[in-house]
Amino acid sequence: MTRQETIQTIEKEKIVVITRNIYDEDLLKLAQALYEGGIRCFEITYDPADPNTMTKISENMKMLEDHFHGGLTLGVGTVLNPEQVINAKNAGAKFIVSPNFKKEVVEETLKQGLVSMPGAMTPTEVLAADEAGADFIKLFPAGTLGIKYCKDIYAPIHHVKYIATVSVTEETFEEYLKIGFAGAGISSRLIDKKLREEGNYQELTNRAKRFVEIAKKY
Smallest CA-to-CA distance from 95 within 17, 212, 151, 164 is with 17
Q: What pLDDT does 183 receive?
A: 98
Nearest to 48 by CA among 66, 16, 21, 29: 21
Give me the pLDDT at residue 57, please.
97
* Whole-number Å distance between alpha carbons of 45 and 197: 20
pLDDT tens for 126-168 read 999 999 999 999 999 999 999 999 999 999 999 999 999 999 9
DSSP 3-state assignment of 19? strand
172-176 average pLDDT score:
97
pLDDT tens digits for range 70-101: 999 999 999 999 999 999 999 999 999 999 99
Residues found in the chain: 218
Residues with a known catalytic role: 43, 138
Which CATH superfamily groups domain 3-212? Aldolase class I (3.20.20.70)
Asked whether the predicted pLDDT for residue 1 surpasses 90, the reply is no
Segment 5-19 mean pLDDT: 98
Q: Note the pLDDT tens digit of each residue in 31-80.
A: 999 999 999 999 999 999 999 999 999 999 999 999 999 999 999 999 99
pLDDT value at position 64? Answer: 97
Question: What own/partner pairs with CB < 8 Å and gap ≥ 24 does 116-124 have?
Answer: 117/75, 117/163, 119/165, 121/145, 123/153, 123/156, 123/157
Question: Do the Cβ atoms of 117 and 95 come closer than 8 Å?
Answer: yes
